[in-house]
């Protein structure tokens, strides 16, 4: 398989503890990977190191690009910020969106930060929101949306730039079970339809069961890495609806 993100001997210390203990990890292009483990096992630290949010104390992180492999652990802050804007997308438990902006403005902002003009950014953002079931809600602010709808906005923002890797940290953790299933289905279908890689940290076995691989951490080490028992797709928007619908 085609590896897109590869970490070797990744180590991260916090005062009095080791969050990551010489971890080797590879994510392949187009894979969906669940990262599981008890609280304090290092799963969020691993996600943040792979995404360039945290710097490891030791080890290497390599991103495959069209030109040449890129070492994240050697990049400066400005280069890492640009990488996160262009190559990576993020979905967090609480969305991490701006409440004073409308749904379409929140999604368009990701494009505008990369230099796309406002009109084009908002047009592409509206296409994504429509494909994710939010047509007609583009001008609503976050307080006018349900929790599940807010997460759909976050999913649109994570992918509107054409990010090749989407990182999700407990993306359904604040939702009820029915809404969680709906949001996860939208996330998995849209990522898969566009050939992107998904890394999702979760405590929820139902989320892990929907991913192609399950990586388990304990005490900062990977103790299991296996194909997940991917559940049948939940009825809803077919994956083909997402494919080719966006100019990204």
88 is a domain residue: yes
**Bridge partner residues of 8 (DSSP):** 60
Domain that holds residue 129: 30-40+77-213+223-241
CA angle 57/58/64 to nearest 5° reads: 115
The per-residue pLDDT for 133 is 93
Cα of 245 vs its chain's centroid, Å: 20
SS3 71: strand
The per-residue pLDDT for 95 is 62
7 is a domain residue: no
91 is a domain residue: yes
Question: Residue 124 in contact with residue 147, Cβ under 8 Å?
Answer: no
Residue 179 region by backbone torsions, left for phi larger than 0, else alpha for psi between -120 and 50, else beta:
alpha
The per-residue pLDDT for 244 is 47
CATH number of 92's domain: 3.40.50.300
Question: Residue 199 in contact with residue 158, Cβ under 8 Å?
Answer: no
Distances (CA, A) of 166 to 5, 94, 242: 12, 16, 15
State the total domains in the chain: 1
Per-residue pLDDT 10s for the chain (248 aa) are: 689 999 999 999 999 999 999 999 999 999 999 999 999 999 999 999 999 999 999 999 999 988 889 999 999 999 999 999 999 999 987 668 999 999 999 999 999 999 999 999 999 999 999 999 999 999 999 999 999 999 999 999 999 999 999 999 999 888 888 989 999 999 999 998 889 999 999 998 989 999 999 999 999 999 999 875 444 443 344 444 555 444 43
Cα–Cα dist 201/219, whole Å: 16
6 is a domain residue: no
The per-residue pLDDT for 230 is 46
21 is a domain residue: no
The per-residue pLDDT for 174 is 84
181 is a domain residue: yes
148 is a domain residue: yes
Note the pTM of the prediction, 2 decimals: 0.89
112 is a domain residue: yes
Please classify residue 194 by burial: count the beta carbons closer than 10 Å to its beta carbon, then call 0-12 exposed, 13-18 middle and 19+ buried. buried
The per-residue pLDDT for 233 is 41
């Amino acid at each position: 398989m085609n590896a897109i993100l590869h970490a070797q001997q990744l180590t991260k210390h916090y005062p009095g503890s080791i969050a990551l203990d010489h971890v080797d990890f590879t994510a392949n292009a187009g894979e969906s990977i669940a990262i599981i483990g008890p609280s304090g096992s290092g799963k969020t630290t691993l996600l943040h190191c792979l995404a360039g949010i945290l710097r490891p104390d030791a080890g290497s992180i390599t991103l495959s690009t069209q030109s040449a492999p890129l070492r994240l652990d050697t990049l400066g802050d400005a280069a890492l910020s640009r990488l996160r804007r262009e190559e990576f997308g993020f979905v967090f438990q609480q969305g991490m969106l701006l409440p004073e902006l409308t749904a379409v403005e929140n999604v368009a902002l990701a494009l505008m930060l990369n230099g796309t003009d406002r009109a084009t950014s908002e047009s592409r953002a509206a296409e994504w929101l429509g494909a994710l079931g939010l047509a007609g809600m583009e001008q609503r602010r976050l307080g006018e949306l349900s929790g599940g709808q807010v997460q759909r906005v976050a999913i649109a923002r994570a992918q509107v730039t054409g990010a090749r890797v989407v990182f999700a940290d407990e993306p359904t953790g604040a939702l009820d079970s029915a809404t969680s299933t709906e949001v996860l289905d939208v996330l998995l279908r849209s990522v898969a339809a566009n050939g992107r890689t998904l890394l999702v940290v979760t405590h929820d076995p139902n989320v892990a069961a929907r991913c192609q691989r399950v990586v388990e951490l304990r005490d900062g080490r990977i103790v299991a890495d296996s194909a997940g028992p991917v559940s049948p797709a939940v009825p809803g928007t077919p994956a083909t609806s997402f494919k080719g619908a966006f100019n990204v």
